[in-house]
Amino acid sequence: MSENLNDHGAADITTVSADAPQMQPLAKNPKGVEKAISALLLVGIAAFVGFGVCYWQNAAYWTYGALLGLGLLAMGAAFIAWGKYLLPRGPFVEERHALASTESERSAFAAALMERGAGEIKRRKVLGTLLGGSLGVFSIVALFPLVRSLGPLPGDKLAVTDWKKGQRLVDINGNPVHITDMAVGGVLTVYPQGLENTDDGQAIDQTILIRVQNEPFTTKKGRESWTPSGYVAYSKLCTHLGCPVGLYEQQLELLVCPCHQSMFNVRNGALPQFGPAPRPLPQLPLAADSEGFLIAAGGYNEPVGPGYWERP
Amino acid sequence: MTAVLKPRTKRQAKEAAGPYGKVGDAVAELDERLGIAKGGRTFLDKIFPDHWSFMLGEIALYSFVILLITGIFLTLYFVPSQGLVKVPMNFPYKPLRGDTVSQAFMSTINMSFNVRCGLLMRQMHHWACDIFVGAIVVHMARVFFTGAFRKPRETNWLVGTTLLILAIANGFLGYSLPDDLVSGTGIRIADSIMLSVPVVGSYLSYFVFGGNFPGQVVIARFFIIHVLLVPLIILGLVGAHLALLVRQKHTQFPGKGRTERNVVGSPMFPVFIFKTQGFLFMTFGVTALLGAFAQINPIWQFGQYIPSNISYAVQPDWYMGFLDGLLRIFPAWEWNAWGHTIPFEVTFPAVIFPGIVFNVAMAWPILERKFFGGDNEIHHLLDRPRDVPKRTAFGVAFFALLATLFVASSTDVLANYFHVSLNTVLWTMRVLTILIPLIAYPVTYKICRELQGGGANMGKRKRPNDVVRTAEGEYVATQAPVRPGDVHHELDATPVPTFIAAAVVAEAEEVVESSDATTGARVVDR
């Protein structure tokens, strides 16, 4: 066919003989491939119909998911087989032209940039400076509403919690903890009374209460009176990344952070014994009030949670 | 031009419409207004080199398409609010009935249990994201090891690396939206990482959360960034990525008839379109099967995020693994002086290290030119990895480091599984993290050097040796004769034909006469 066209001389159209080997399909038996592709497409149609029916009948989600997947795979395989086995096998070629322009085109472009733009600014130095100044001031001022409005300034809020002297320890349901409530080895997450359902109470004030033994003990020098009846309380925020230190290994008397496996010894002031945590968990001084409920004998004496720049 | 009579029969109408019928008309109409014919034809003829490794980028592109489709579905049901609601008592999943949960969590479990196709779409979306990031990484590895990033393609390498970072960031943001216990812990860790940035950390955290963590705004903010801001940037950069690819044309492996001055392969239309369209459906199909059969992120089992609760043995999505691994094995080095703290045990693994990783990746085209013997020439033919041992060795060491850190993100699981102490696992991973890349570099280098010099038989199937014993008792090895299928025979490449119908050839005469000699005519030498 295209031989004729070639005889007419140069054409807009590249031609190649229809019986050139590149124009033949890759398949040795195109009829067979055609049958296989038809089968695939029929499977696809059937699967899509099945998808519709399953959806309509509100069947289990995996049934129509499977049919959708099957239909798409069959249709995809049909497309690929058609492209690979029935269309001309090639290979075909195209020229790659150099991207670069000529030297004179380049210098013309550079000259236009310089002489019309930068050159003009250079000639009028004062205007140029003022223009730069106004753009600079604008971009700084424009940043304020975009950034500063996002939130309040932290101030020293990261360093404080809501724990105060005399405040009762309550569980997540607001029940205060009586000194007789827990057995040795027991653990409970506690919050300052009234804050158990607030964001700050749960995210910052969360404290883990452990009954290590029946008698008071000393976790560290100066903390002799902090453990009434063997109860000890530490901030539940890991000093590594702020995950709740929620696991208690009773036999070894270790608090374990499930995120990155930092371990803190409850006997010696939660000194990190293993893992990436750099500091002990802050300890909350405890006491019992006149009715025998556990109270805080003071707030935390250092910021809880992970480290940050302003942390003293 | 002669006046055209109104056609009376179908046959007359067909003849009047010209050889290409309605398509021909449409092309003519569009061409008169937009001049699409010449460029359009060039576009249809664009050659795509054939190699399996060139489809890795297509997986990334198509999983992004799936992300957009499934993501649009999800936005129709998701409520980005931390306001609290009660799970109704008739909710299909009994353990959650009556719980107080956020609207974000409620709407997510609602679409999983009560919306038809909802769970399938959610799981497909999550799987497509994991595939998306994975395909980008593998595609980047292909581009890296074959040297496809070299001049003139450094810009596209930069665009690609930016896409990877955006994909990872958006993956994390999307993972955070359901407000479940696991993702909430992830956000808490992200908050602590922000706090660890020297000088501005606490401001960063307060501006993101609108105050103390968790606050009331973070889900709404993450939502709009996840569904609008980042996808829009990704979409734009994907467009730029493909536009650069068309402008600069594809790279290709060396081989028969392939030079720096041409591209050999399949034409865009119809061969590549057929194959790639099929591949889109295959990717979609695999994602659908994963969504149907492979459960992912069952948040109803985790429950609503409560800041003082925590789950055990939880891993982040795979692409966060290397960060989690380094956070686990890095020593507890915190520095405190003059009233300030630098939590280096967080700053290094979670801020500085990923900064190094992505900056090295981005700057690689320059680094190779400066330190690894790269040149400043234009390259369109790809390298075989073995022929550039320094680059290959560096790449293998780099990936080995990240892979080791990925394994380190499951120290607790490994300790449990193998019944060894956590301490042993920790120290093993610390040693391996340093040792494996140091070993990987020279070993890879040596292997590359050994493999070099394949020479003439490169890419061909090896022929067996026949060992013959001569009458004198001497053993002689000779190469076996060529058997069918032993040598892959490749045809010569030919320019793309028009598939012009034989009947039209006569009419083409007219076209030829009126055509300008300078219209870029291409003639085939016979």
Q: For B91-134, how does the pLDDT look when each residue is reduced to its tens digit (9 = 90+)?
A: 999 999 999 999 999 999 999 999 999 999 999 999 999 999 99
In the predicted structure, residue B462 carries a pLDDT above the cut 80: no
Contact (CB, 8 A) for B230 and B166: yes
Q: Is B203 left (phi over 0), alpha (psi -120 to 50) or beta?
A: alpha
Q: Which one, of B270, B51, B47, lies nearest residue A80 by Cα?
A: B270
Higher pLDDT, B520 or B100: B100
Structure confidence at residue B455 (pLDDT): 55
- DSSP H or E stretch at residue B208: helix B201-209
Q: Is A26 exposed, middle or buried (0-12, 13-18, 19+ CB in 10 A)?
A: middle
Nearest CA in chain A to B205: A154
Helix, strand, coil fractions of chain A, as percent rounded to 5:
40, 15, 45
Structure confidence at residue B29 (pLDDT): 92
Taking the CA of residue B79 as centre, how many other CA atoms within 13 Å lie in the half-sphere pointing to its CB?
A: 15
For chain A, say whether B419 makes contact (Cβ under 8 Å): no
Does the predicted interface ipTM exceed a cut of 0.85? yes
**% pLDDT > 90, chain B:** 69
Q: Which of A40, A48, A72 to mutate to test the interface with B (most CBs of B within 10 A)?
A: A72
In the predicted structure, residue B5 carries a pLDDT above the cut 70: no
Helices within B303-388 (DSSP H only): 321-329, 344-347, 353-371
- Which one of A83-92, A209-218, B78-87, B491-500 scores highest in mean pLDDT? B78-87
Contact (CB, 8 A) for A209 and A231: yes
Q: Which of A26, A41, A56, A62 to mutate to test the interface with B (most CBs of B within 10 A)?
A: A62
- All residues of chain A having their beta carbon less than 8 Å from the beta carbon of residue B490 are 91
Q: Which of A12, A99, A198, A256 to mutate to test the interface with B (most CBs of B within 10 A)?
A: A12
- Which one of A303-307, B9-13, B462-466 scores highest in mean pLDDT? A303-307
Cβ–Cβ below 8 Å for B309 and A152: no
**B497 Cα to chain A: minimum distance (Å):** 5
Structure confidence at residue B288 (pLDDT): 97
- DSSP H or E stretch at residue B71: helix B56-75
For chain B, say whether A236 makes contact (Cβ under 8 Å): yes
Structure confidence at residue B277 (pLDDT): 94
Interface of B with A in 138-197 (CB under 8 A): 152, 185, 188-189, 191-193, 195-197
Contact (CB, 8 A) for B237 and B163: yes
Residue B393, both tokens = 């060795």
The residue ranges of every structural domain in chain B are 53-383, 386-454
d(CA A233, CA A211): 9
Interface of B with A in 3-42 (CB under 8 A): none
For chain B, say whether A48 makes contact (Cβ under 8 Å): no
For chain B, say whether A199 makes contact (Cβ under 8 Å): yes
d(CA B526, CA B519): 21
What does the DSSP assignment read for B441-493? Answer: HHHHHHHHHHH---GGGTTSPPPPEEEEE-TTS-EEEEEPPP-TTSS---PPP
One-letter amino acid at B441 equals Y
Tell me the average pLDDT of chain A. Answer: 89
The CA-CA-CA angle for residues B155, B161, B162, to 5°, reads 90
> What is the DSSP-derived secondary structure letter of residue B150?
S
Cβ–Cβ below 8 Å for A306 and B196: yes
In the predicted structure, residue B10 carries a pLDDT above the cut 60: yes
Residue A196, both tokens = 């158990």
Q: Which one, of B148, B54, B162, B172, lies nearest residue B395 by Cα?
A: B148
Interface of B with A in 340-399 (CB under 8 A): 340-343, 345-346, 380
Contact (CB, 8 A) for B470 and B410: no
For chain B, say whether A66 makes contact (Cβ under 8 Å): yes
Q: What are the tens digits of pLDDT across the range A108-146?
A: 999 988 888 877 888 888 988 999 999 999 999 999 888
First to last CA, chain A: 87
In the predicted structure, residue B32 carries a pLDDT above the cut 80: yes
Structure confidence at residue A192 (pLDDT): 93
Structure confidence at residue B486 (pLDDT): 54
Structure confidence at residue B509 (pLDDT): 45
d(CA B111, CA B133): 25
Cβ–Cβ below 8 Å for A22 and B266: no
Residue B407, both tokens = 């394994």
Q: Which of A259, A271, A304 to mutate to test the interface with B (most CBs of B within 10 A)?
A: A259
Residue B239, both tokens = 């467009």
Cis before A91? omega within 30: yes
Higher pLDDT, A122 or A308: A308
Cβ–Cβ below 8 Å for B205 and A154: yes
Cβ–Cβ below 8 Å for A93 and B515: no
Contact (CB, 8 A) for B377 and B154: no
One-letter amino acid at B450 equals E
Cβ–Cβ below 8 Å for B491 and A21: yes
Least-confidence region, from A281-285, B278-282, B310-314, B410-414? B310-314
Cβ–Cβ below 8 Å for A259 and B311: no
Interface of A with B in 4-33 (CB under 8 A): 4-6, 8-16, 20-23
Tell me the average pLDDT of chain B. Answer: 88
- Please state the separation of Cα B364 from the chain's center in Å: 18
Q: Which of A4, A40, A94, A162 to mutate to test the interface with B (most CBs of B within 10 A)?
A: A94
In the predicted structure, residue B482 carries a pLDDT above the cut 70: no
Residue B475, both tokens = 């053993």
Structure confidence at residue B219 (pLDDT): 96
Task: Give domain B53-383's CATH superfamily.
Answer: Cytochrome Bc1 Complex; Chain C (1.20.810.10)
Buried b (16+ CB within 10 A) or exposed e, A59-73: eebbbbbbbbbbbbb
d(CA B224, CA B428): 42
Architecture of domain A156-307: 3-layer Sandwich (2.102)
- DSSP H or E stretch at residue A100: none
**A11 Cα to chain B: minimum distance (Å):** 6
The residue ranges of every structural domain in chain A are 2-86, 113-150, 156-307
Q: What are the tens digits of pLDDT across the range B253-268?
A: 988 888 999 999 999 9
**% pLDDT > 70, chain B:** 88
Q: What are the tens digits of pLDDT across the range B151-174?
A: 999 999 999 999 999 999 999 999
Structure confidence at residue B470 (pLDDT): 86
In the predicted structure, residue B448 carries a pLDDT above the cut 80: yes
Structure confidence at residue B339 (pLDDT): 86
Q: How confident is the model at residue B463 (pLDDT cuts 50, 70, 90)?
A: low
Give the 3-state secondary structure of residue B265. Answer: strand
**B308 Cα to chain A: minimum distance (Å):** 6
Q: What are the tens digits of pLDDT across the range B491-508?
A: 888 887 765 444 344 444
Helices within chain A (DSSP H only): 2-7, 30-56, 61-81, 103-112, 119-123, 125-147, 199-203
Whose tokens are 């702020």? That residue is A242
Q: What is the mean pLDDT of residues B460-465?
A: 63
d(CA A267, CA A248): 13
In the predicted structure, residue B407 carries a pLDDT above the cut 90: yes
